[in-house]
């Protein structure tokens, strides 16, 4: 039995050290951070490799095998972070790793050096104490380049070194913060991720001198009704396993999704914002380009739209939804990026293990599946290893979902020390229950 206080302290100190490695991506510069973790894990008895797609940006793969057949459990994480502007932070620098007011502060404190610290602290503590899997294998896969699409990270590993990162069970980021709805207290478990179908809409016109407005045919003004149609970000609800299960967990009838959404909006607007992207295709205009000169009427305007599609659905489904929103205006729709979203099953032993942990730590609370509107490295593992179960779960109780979410990629990012201890206890529970 691991000492919870010592495990929390070790996780906290390790996180503080990891934050002090500036791994903002781009450029990443993950080398020093990964070498530091490699040294810790090797001294504890792990077999460790650093695998690089490009020089200076290694991915870490650590193994603790049992020598006999059994499940392979992978603790997954990434060590790169998004940028941070020190001028926006107070009272500490983004790479200070300060412990203050019950929290650890710095870029990556939530996304996701906290989870990396908890996973590594558990692995070190178990291995140093003589623990070894009775069957199967424990892996830690700590990647580079997640924040820029994983070209040099998990995607590359799964495509080029599948034999080294293959796993049956993967635990990653994506959910875990507590939230409340009506009289229910719930922790999200990320079981799926939406697909990315970004596209460009083009309107055509005729160039002319801007001093004589009617001499040309302004392609930019033709975008006005398109933008109006896309305003508001409303989703056409459609049934799929994850949002239906979410509604069941919060006690809302999912038979009529429109009525369900209306009910949730009335009772908890915050939860409605979380729920709505799970229910269908989202269309968000983000960039527009027209004339290159201020005095030229544009003959062409191009609007870029970020489109996210429920797991398993493809380009045809996205196009149907686009047409239903913007109408038939003679617009060209050109897909710039198409990645089909994927999912893991909801009813699994891993889900039951998470439920048992939550019940023990927070009596009366429960868990619910959620869909990540964005993406994480879980996508690449599900795609490479279709039989694996990949969930995102970093439990947080001291800082709830709506306190944590604005801090991810934001200023003054921080994580409560109490939550570091909670997460570390979960990973210790999972490792020992799964591997013996």
Domain ranges of the chain: 4-181+342-435, 195-236+280-339
In CATH, the architecture of 195-236+280-339 is 2-Layer Sandwich (3.30)
> 194 to each of 16, 95, 129, 264, how far by Cα in Å?
32, 32, 40, 22
Distance (Å, whole) CA 355 – CA 353? 5
What does each of the 436 residues of the chain score in pLDDT, given as a tens digit? 799 999 999 999 999 999 999 999 999 999 999 999 999 999 999 999 999 999 999 999 999 999 899 999 999 999 999 999 999 999 999 999 999 999 999 999 999 999 999 999 999 999 999 999 999 999 999 999 999 999 999 999 999 999 999 999 999 999 999 999 999 999 999 999 999 999 999 999 999 999 999 999 999 999 999 999 999 888 999 999 999 999 999 999 999 999 999 999 999 999 999 899 999 999 999 999 999 999 999 999 999 999 999 999 999 999 999 999 998 777 889 999 999 999 999 999 999 999 999 999 999 999 999 999 988 999 999 999 999 999 999 999 999 999 999 999 999 999 999 999 999 999 999 999 999 9
Report the pLDDT value the prediction gives residue 234, as an integer from 0 to 100.
86
- Burial label for 177, CB within 10 Å (0-12, 13-18, 19+), is buried
Nearest to 435 by CA among 165, 142, 139, 11: 139
Both structure tokens of 14: 């390790």
Beta bridge partners of 105: 414
Report the pLDDT value the prediction gives residue 392, as an integer from 0 to 100.
98
The secondary element (H helix, E strand) that includes residue 157 is helix 154-160
Report the pLDDT value the prediction gives residue 120, as an integer from 0 to 100.
98
Report the pLDDT value the prediction gives residue 153, as an integer from 0 to 100.
98
Q: Tokens 């922790």 appear where?
A: 187
Distance (Å, whole) CA 97 – CA 346? 36
Nearest to 407 by CA among 98, 104, 4: 104
Backbone angles phi, psi at 343, to 5 degrees: -150, 160
Dihedral (Cα; 270, 112, 351, 281), 10-degree rounding: 50
With beta carbons less than 8 A apart as the criterion, state whether 108 and 78 touch: no
CATH code that applies to domain 4-181+342-435: 3.40.630.10
Nearest to 247 by CA among 194, 307, 184: 184
> 120 to each of 7, 10, 11, 126, 160, how far by Cα in Å?
11, 10, 8, 10, 24
Report the pLDDT value the prediction gives residue 92, as an integer from 0 to 100.
94
Report the pLDDT value the prediction gives residue 418, as an integer from 0 to 100.
98
Note the pTM of the prediction, 2 decimals.
0.94
Report the pLDDT value the prediction gives residue 1, as an integer from 0 to 100.
72
Cβ-proximal residues to 43 (8 Å cutoff; 6+ apart), any chain? none
User: Strand order of the sheet with strand 414-416?
Assistant: 99-100, 103-105, 414-416
């Amino acid at each position: 039995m691991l000492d919870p206080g010592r495990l929390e302290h070790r996780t906290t100190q390790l996180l503080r050290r990891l934050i002090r490695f500036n791994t903002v991506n781009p450029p990443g510069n993950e080398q020093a951070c990964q070498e530091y973790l490699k040294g810790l894990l090797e001294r504890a008895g792990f077999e460790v490799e650093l695998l690089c797609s490009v020089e200076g940006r290694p991915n870490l793969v650590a193994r603790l095998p049992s020598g006999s057949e059994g499940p392979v459990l992978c603790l997954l994480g990434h060590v790169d972070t998004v940028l941070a502007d020190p001028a926006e932070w107070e009272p500490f620098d983004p790479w200070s790793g300060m412990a203050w007011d019950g929290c650890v502060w710095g870029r990556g404190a939530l996304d996701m050096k906290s989870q990396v610290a908890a996973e590594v602290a558990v692995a070190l503590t178990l291995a140093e104490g003589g623990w070894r899997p009775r069957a199967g294998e424990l892996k830690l896969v700590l990647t580079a380049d997640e924040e820029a699409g994983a070209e040099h990270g998990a995607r590359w590993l799964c495509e080029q070194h599948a034999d080294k990162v293959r796993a049956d069970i993967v635990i990653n980021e994506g959910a875990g913060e507590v939230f409340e709805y009506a009289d229910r207290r719930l922790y999200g478990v990320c079981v799926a991720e939406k697909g990315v179908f970004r596209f460009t809409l083009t309107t055509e016109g005729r160039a002319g001198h801007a001093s004589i407005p009617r001499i040309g045919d302004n392609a930019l003004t033709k975008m006005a009704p398109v933008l109006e149609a896309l305003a508001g970000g409303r989703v056409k609800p459609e049934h799929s396993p994850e949002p239906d299960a979410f509604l069941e967990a919060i006690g809302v009838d999912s038979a009529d999704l429109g009525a369900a959404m209306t009910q949730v909006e009335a009772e908890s607007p915050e939860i409605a914002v979380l729920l709505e992207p799970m229910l269908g295709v989202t269309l968000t205009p983000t960039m527009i380009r027209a004339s290159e000169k201020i005095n030229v009427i544009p003959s062409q305007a191009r609007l870029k739209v970020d489109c996210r599609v429920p797991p398993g659905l493809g380009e045809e489904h996205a196009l149907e939804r686009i047409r239903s929103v913007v109408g038939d205006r003679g617009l060209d729709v050109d897909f710039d990026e198409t990645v089909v979203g994927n999912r893991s099953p909801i009813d699994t032993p891993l889900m039951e293990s998470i439920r048992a942990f939550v019940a023990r730590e927070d009596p009366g609370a429960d868990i619910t599946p959620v869909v990540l509107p964005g993406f994480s490295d879980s996508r690449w593992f599900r795609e490479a290893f279709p039989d694996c179960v990949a969930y995102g779960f970093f439990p947080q109780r001291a800082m709830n979902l709506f306190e944590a979410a604005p801090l991810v990629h934001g200023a003054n990012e921080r994580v409560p020390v109490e939550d570091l201890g909670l997460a570390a206890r979960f990973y210790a529970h999972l490792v020992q229950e799964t591997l013996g």
